[in-house]
């Protein structure tokens, strides 16, 4: 499936394990930046990734929905926030959460947005960095999932 698929699925980890020339790597990054600018993609990382892989994301959510329907198995999509929001400012990635929520609704997938569990809390207390929760963060996430599943019904 190629380089783009690998980058989307492994979070960019392949770059640390693939033997490449530094010059080739620099050229690929420069070309990617040019293509991103030509497409008018935003520069902020999370918005950039969502813009760059929008079509693949839509396709994969359709596939998940089809699996859920074909096998009659509910699928719960749990969306974790970016853990560097500021308490006194609007959450900068709410539009991305709304996009994922919409994909779940369109494809009959259950959806749990964990931002609601972290809203009003100091994100630095619940995460090591923008993506990785602390034990306290994992505890909050686990409780949110338990609360959601407690009220979950297979009946629509």
Q: Which two tokens stand for residue 47?
A: 């918005």
Task: Tell how strand 76-79 and strand 110-113 pair up.
Answer: parallel
d(CA 28, CA 25): 5
**Cβ atoms of 112 and 123 closer than 8 Å:** no
Residue 42, token pair as written in the block: 């935003």
- What is the radius of gyration, based on Cα positions, of the chain? 18
Query: From first to last of its 156 residues, what are the pLDDT tens digits of the chain?
Result: 444 444 445 566 666 665 567 777 767 776 666 665 766 666 777 887 878 889 999 999 999 999 999 999 999 999 999 888 777 788 888 999 999 999 999 999 999 999 999 888 888 888 888 889 999 999 999 999 999 999 877 665
Predicted pLDDT at 2: 44
> What are the domain boundaries of the chain?
73-150
CATH 3.40.50.1110 is held by the domain 73-150: yes
């Amino acid at each position: 499936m190629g380089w783009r698929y690998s980058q989307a699925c492994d979070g960019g980890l392949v770059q640390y394990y693939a033997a490449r020339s530094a010059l080739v790597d620099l050229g690929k990054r420069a070309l990617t930046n040019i293509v991103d600018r030509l497409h008018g993609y935003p520069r902020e990382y999370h918005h950039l990734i969502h813009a760059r892989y929008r079509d693949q994301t839509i396709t994969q959510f359709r596939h998940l929905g089809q699996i859920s329907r074909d096998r009659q198995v509910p699928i719960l999509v749990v969306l974790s926030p970016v853990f560097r929001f500021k308490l006194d400012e609007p959450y900068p990635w709410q539009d991305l959460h709304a996009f994922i929520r919409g994909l779940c609704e369109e494809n009959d997938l259950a959806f749990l947005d964990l931002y609601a569990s972290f809203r009003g809390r100091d994100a630095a207390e619940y995460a090591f960095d923008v993506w990785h929760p602390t034990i306290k963060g994992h505890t909050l996430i686990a409780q949110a999932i338990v609360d959601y599943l407690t009220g979950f019904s297979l009946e629509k």
